[in-house]
Amino acid sequence: MTQPFLPLTARSRDESHRASTPLELFFDLCFVVAVAQAGAELVHAVAEGHAGEGVLNYAMIFFAIWWAWMNFTWFASAYDNDDVPYRVVTLVQIAGVLILAAGVSRAFEDHDFLVVYLGYVVMRLALASQWLRAAHHATDPLERAMCRRYAGGVVAVQIGWLSLVLAPEPARPWVFLVMALAEMSVPLFAERNAPSTWHPHHIAERYGLFTIIVLGETVAAATVAVKTGIAENDALGEVLPIAAGGLLLVFAAWWIYFVVPAHDRLTSSREAFRWGYGHYVIFAAAAAVGAGLEIAVEQAVGKAHISTLAASSAVTIPSAVFLMSVWLLHARYFKVGLAQQLVLPVSSLAILLCTFAGHWAVLAAGLVAAATVAVGVTLTARNPATRPGPPAATGAGASTG
């Protein structure tokens, strides 16, 4: 039963059986609403021939979504006490991301980031209040100082983000770059003397679950696009190869991400920062695959004003980026021998080359992804010493490949 009020004190990093809570899962699902909005606007921008502008806006919006999600995730891993104030403040953060999602279309179409900024204000100030509460209950002076630095850094950078709303449009990409770097510097500044007590298994599970939810959103978006293509244009022959290839790509992405025990990489704060920050690319690429599949379907039925090559690249580029990012962040640390190390880099290159396969590009990319899994399974089977251990609570070591 939820307690009305409990001290918001640090949890132990050595807790056993630490798992995600229903509140955290609800939090993730609400955040994916914003991811879906960003993906839908990316589809519209690319389909209308504004790929460069669309990708830039997508990167900026996705950063706001991902950074707010990540900050909550690491805070909750260290301080979740599940009392009433904690739940209420978390629900306020959810409200913030829904406000942000409501402003995504205006940000893409009119370059008006005011609603996005207001949603971000709600999320970030709610998080700052959590850090202040943790500081109030901290007994260790170093921990108390860390919590206050987090709260102060979050508020200071949030004030700085106002410049994105006020700056002239040509300057906004540079403002975004500066403020994004400032955001990512806050944890490094706050934890320089006393790291927070995040839980490796819990963090790995949280990231894994969000990856699954984003991949699920990719499947949902692609399914709607295929259904529309068949129902409105009677184009089963044109969209079936895209549907089959997209399904293979998503299945392979899931398999490859969860093939190694991700929590084994979280051995220090330095490794954790690198691993956590790097997931911006993984999450953004996974969501972009779904947008790319929608673009490919629209181009196949004649609704997108772009070439087949451009539509194919909307799928193959984020797919290759996803594979390379997973390899760089943690997969390569579990591979033994040149053959195992080369599987994902070579597959990423092969998927990029599939871009030039015309109307069969997505299917070809899907077949390459499936072959990647098959080769990985075969190489692992031949070297039992490199097989991952039993599945962890996160599911991160649930298969071999």
Tell how far CA 200 is from the center of its chain: 18
Task: Kindly state the greatest CA–CA separation across the chain.
Answer: 67
Task: Measure the CA angle with vertex 97, ends 93 and 102; round to 5°.
Answer: 145
Any idea what DSSP says for residue 312? Answer: H
Pair of tokens at residue 105: 């279309």
Classify the C-alpha dihedral 204-210-214-217 as positive or negative. Answer: positive
Per-residue pLDDT band at 334 (split at 50, 70, 90): confident
The more confident residue out of 264 and 398 is 264
Q: Which two tokens stand for residue 401?
A: 């490949």
CA neighbor of 318 nearest in space, from 250, 371, 242, 247: 250
Give the mean pLDDT of the chain: 89
For 57-115, the pLDDT digits (tens) are 999 999 999 999 999 999 999 999 999 999 999 999 999 999 999 999 999 988 889 99
Task: Work out the average pLDDT over 160-178.
Answer: 92
Instruction: Compute the distance between CA of residue 349 and CA of residue 345 in angstroms, rounded to an integer.
Output: 6
Distances from the Cα of 133 to the Cαs of 33, 85, 145, 225, 227, in angstroms? Answer: 29, 10, 12, 46, 49
Secondary element (H or E) of residue 242: helix 236-257
The pLDDT assigned to 391 comes to 41
Q: Is the pLDDT of residue 326 over 60?
A: yes
pLDDT of residue 269: 78
pLDDT of residue 2: 64
Would you list the domain boundaries of the chain? Answer: 22-195, 201-386
User: Is 157 in contact with 127 (CB distance < 8 Å)?
Assistant: no
Name the least confident of 103-107, 316-320, 329-333.
329-333
Region 369-384: mean pLDDT is 86
Q: Distance between CA 302 and CA 304 in Å, rounded?
A: 6
- Residue by residue, DSSP assigns 133-149 as HHHHH--SHHHHHHHHH
**Position 216 pLDDT exceeds 60:** yes
Class of residue 154 by CB neighbours under 10 A (exposed 0-12, middle 13-18, buried 19+): buried
Name every residue whose Cβ is closer than 8 Å to that of residue 1 and which is 6 or more positions away in sequence: none
pLDDT average, residue stretch 226-254: 88
User: Taking a C-beta distance cutoff of 8 angstroms, is the pair 248, 347 a contact?
Assistant: no
CB 182 within 8 A of CB 134: no
- The Cα 301–Cα 307 span in angstroms is 12
Q: Which amino acid is at 37?
A: Q
Own/partner long-range contacts of 178-181 (Cβ < 8 Å, ≥24 apart): 180/63, 180/67
pLDDT tens digits, 124-165:
999 999 999 999 999 999 999 999 999 999 999 999 999 999
Confidence tier at 235 by pLDDT (50, 70, 90): confident
Fold topology of 201-386: I/LWEQ domain (1.20.1410)
pLDDT computed for residue 397 by the predictor? 34
Phi, psi for residue 50 in degrees, rounded to 5: -115, 55
- Residue position matching structure tokens 């400032």: 182
What is residue 230's predicted lDDT score, i.e. its pLDDT? 83
Contact 28/213 with Cβ under 8 angstroms? yes
Q: Residue 97: what pLDDT?
A: 93
Supply the Cα-derived Rg of the chain in whole angstroms.
Answer: 22
Better pLDDT: 40 or 225: 40
- Give Cα separations from 66 to 28, 34, 63, 277, 388 (angstroms): 11, 10, 5, 10, 29
C-alpha span between 206 and 30 (Å, rounded)? 14
Q: pLDDT tens across 262-304, in order?
A: 777 787 778 888 899 999 999 999 999 999 999 999 999 888 8
Cβ neighbours, 10 Å, residue 352: 18
- DSSP structural state of residue 198: -
